[in-house]
Amino acid sequence: MRKQVSGYVNGIGTAVPAYSSTQQKAAEFMADVLQLDERDSRRLMALYRHTRIDQRHSVLADYVRPKGEFTFYANTPGMEPFPTVSQRMGVYRQEAVPLALQAIDDCFQSYPDFNPQTITHLITVSCTGLYAPGPDIEIIEALGLPTSTQRLAINFMGCYGAFNGLKTADSIVRADPDAKVLVVCVELCTIHFQKKTETDHLLSNALFADGSAAVLVESRPRPDQSFRLRSFYCDLLPEGKEAMAWHVSDFGFEMTLTSQVPTFIQQGIGQLMERLLDQCNLTLDDIGYYALHPGGRRILEVIEEQLGITAYDDRYAYEVLRQNGNMSSATVLFVLKEIWNDLTAGEAQLDPDRPNILSCAFGPGLTLESMVLESVVTQPELVTLESSSALAQVL
């Protein structure tokens, strides 16, 4: 009987753009652009403080430049004429791949024994930009990979897109154990800033940021540390379909993100986790780490309430949210990287009875995606007494 093959995450890399703004400065920018009066400005400042975000990153320098020195937005009252979809996609074409290549390099740095030229498949994930020939081809050219490298683009799925990339990579290596799959998420959320005062837009502007993440998936664990892809489960909450959406408008991509999203997640997360864990004969007692997508502070809190876990259990998500905000599909991979780094540095001790990582993310639909990974530390083979004696004779 053929041995069951699993997919293993053997490298994780992340990257953010150079331009960083504190949440306070971002709120001041928005209040000025939206031409809010003193009362509404105070309310906006309170909303931004409530997010538990300290800073966010953008490919656009305008968010950190004084008014009058913008190079993307117009230096006029109300920033008119407002950038069109075409102008925003021009920024995406210019900035997405360089940021993705930084994440890829970081991924390879985390796995120095890997030869990038052995990559057989490339999966790109993004919901913030489209063009063809696209980022997949540019990445192959930049890395000097064979033109025969197989490519797949996963687009417009929102914050849960990385799960579809990982599921596809897992299926590929299970079907072909010699495959080596690079999954790259790159999101430039800030190029889609909407100059509107409806609650949906105020929430989006307060949360989203730019970032990229890359993971390498193989059919065998690396010699020191890997994350085995154990199980995936996806479900829909149709009653929440109107609560989260992502549409192309004349002036960028517009996010619908109502305050009802946490309520819908609260209603569905328990059953989602139960079905996911049942697939691999686990319970929450078997989970040692949590890699929840930090879609927002309240989303994390309702998941903790429903699963009976603490903010400390969820500390990796809060740290990513604090340092980077919500970077759509790339964000959950940032959380996994935090866990990976702690285990590598010895900051977190792997519990052999609870090596499993529970992860989930949400997006339009209302879609609930989840997975269980297992942290695998490969132990070197022990030298037996007989082989030790034989080695001594040779020496």
Q: Whole-angstrom Cα distance, residue 190 to residue 184?
A: 19
Report the chain's mean pLDDT, rounded to a whole number: 91
* pLDDT value at residue 346: 75
- Predicted confidence (pLDDT) at residue 386 exceeds the cutoff of 70: no
* pLDDT value at residue 4: 65
Q: What is the pTM of this model?
A: 0.93
The Cα-based distances of 377 to 37, 349, 350, 354 in angstroms read 57, 11, 9, 13
Q: Name the band, by pLDDT with cuts 50, 70 and 90, for residue 390.
A: very low
* pLDDT value at residue 329: 97
Q: Which residue, among 25, 91, 17, has the nearest Cα to 63 in the 3D structure?
A: 25
When mean pLDDT is compared across 246-250, 281-285, 311-315, the lowest value belongs to 246-250
| Tens-place pLDDT, residues 181-218 | 999 999 999 999 988 888 888 888 999 999 999 999 99
- Predicted confidence (pLDDT) at residue 96 exceeds the cutoff of 50: yes
Q: Which of 24-28, 32-36, 198-202 has the highest mean pLDDT?
A: 24-28
The better pLDDT of the pair 33, 348 is held by 33
Q: Which helix (H) or strand (E) holds 207?
A: helix 199-207
Candidate list 159, 185, 234, 360, residue with the active-site label: 159
Q: Is 189 a catalytic residue?
A: no
**What's the mean pLDDT in 238-259?**
85
* pLDDT value at residue 378: 61
Q: Which residue, among 255, 326, 270, has the nearest Cα to 302 in the 3D structure?
A: 270
Assigned fold of 7-218: Peroxisomal Thiolase; Chain A, domain 1 (3.40.47)
| Tens-place pLDDT, residues 161-171 | 999 999 999 99
Indicate if 225-377 has the same CATH topology as 7-218: yes
Structural domain spans, the chain: 7-218, 225-377
Assigned fold of 225-377: Peroxisomal Thiolase; Chain A, domain 1 (3.40.47)
Q: Is 195 helix (H, G, I), strand (E, B) or coil?
A: coil
- Predicted confidence (pLDDT) at residue 17 exceeds the cutoff of 50: yes
* pLDDT value at residue 119: 98
* pLDDT value at residue 86: 96
